[in-house]
Structure 1
Amino acid sequence: MQPSVVNDNRLNVPILSVDNLTVIRSGNIVLKDINLKVCKGEFIGLVGPNGSGKSTLLLSILGVLRAQKGSVEIYGQPPFSRSTIGRIGWVSQAASNLPRDVRITVRELVRLGTLNGKNMFSWSDKGRVKRVNEAIKMVGLEDVENVDVSRLSGGQRQRAVIARALATEAEFILLDEPLVGMDREARNSLLKLLDQLCHDSDKTILMVSHDLTAIRQTAHRMIFLEEMIRYDGPTENFPDLESLAGLRGIRPVHGEDQSHKHTHLVEGE
């Protein structure tokens, strides 16, 4: 799968602006002087070793973590502003790991996405049903919409969680390690879905992943983060593994998966 090229006017529309952001957690600098702009229609892969600040950056963008310096604006407003409610979708690492004893169908899970401060009292039941139907169709889960989420495969659960985000009418979707635990077929299927959401539905994707091999196949733009942004540019110009390994002790790790090599980034020993 090769990254699709987006060359229309959508990329001129700003979604996110991060300016000189510094975040300190437990007395340690996790992010330092981060400057980042994301435009409409982009599919961005955010990579880096464990502890490099990837999840911290996402939580800062969402307004969950407070910055010691700098600012974050989404659609020209601070996070949690009234105008951003319902426009941002968040898929965390644990989002699809529902306990086995929780009985909730795909349709019920997706319907939860229609309940937020933006539309709690404005949408009719008919409108909610329409949004749920559209979201389930977009992720290709029509055949299992009445099946308990706990009975789905890992890839199907991730799709269900993404559908929940889509049901909010989210335009900007942030995903934290959605490929973890998936086999090659499920990974490729999910990446294809995310690419289609960018091109066919005008969604903007910012996705954290350790799996360089997979994300480089689809993302339009790559960001390498380790406390600071060390690369931000087109996927085709992303540094090779030897160059990455020279950045502050990073070492590449090759894992075998059904006879296909996948490269991950971890901290040097």
Structure 2
Amino acid sequence: MRPDTRGFLLRTGVLVRLNTTVLLREPGPLLGRIVMPVVVLLALRPLYEAAQGAADGTAQAVIGSLVTFSLLALSIVGTSILSERTWRTWDRLRTTPAGAAELLLGKAVPVFCVLAAQQAVVLGFGVAVLGMPVAAPLLLLAACAAWGLALLGLGTALGVLARSPGQLAALHDIGALVLTTLGGALVPVAELPGWARAIAPASPGYWAAHALRAAAAGDTAGTLAAVAVLLGVASAAGAVAALRITRGWGRAATV
């Protein structure tokens, strides 16, 4: 292994362990992001089943609650980054040999594991307990991974763009609600007003729900198309975050 590659992996590993420890010290929010989707889908499932039938209603409840609460998880990575800036520890990290990619990966990997756990619990409950049909498990796995990466990119971008905890909270709360609504997570897109249906594809939540539904139905083309959009969102948001960090815009002096 080349020395620079080995150093990259070592520094990233140290940052991942550090940020994992910080997350686990306050497990309440993490447990909430995992348990609450199950509670909500159980409450909404009868309503969706009455309107769409048993199979479609169950899928709407499971996928809708997952997309909704995974969008709320944007605050985890965003708050993690903003806290470093608020505590004036971001500058210290920047003086180490760790580059922008290593700093971002150190924050992103633990949160990605949280998102993966959330997806596993919600989808596992939907399939094993509620009988949600899944025709293509591998496609579903790809859809979950792409959605997780998109969330990480968006959350990281929010964390380096927000200038205060209040601003981050406003951006996150309003953004998550808008993206959830337009994504058809709470109400099927077909039932939204015409203007909302027209702009729904602008929401990453729309593509997440589309990817998950297509994967559950075994629609390879539909899943891969939605996955490509989500990976594009992840790349664009991650590039914005990396650019801001390398330019020094994420330093404490700018907060």
TM-score, normalised with respect to structure 1: 0.25
Q: Say which structure is richer in helix.
A: 2
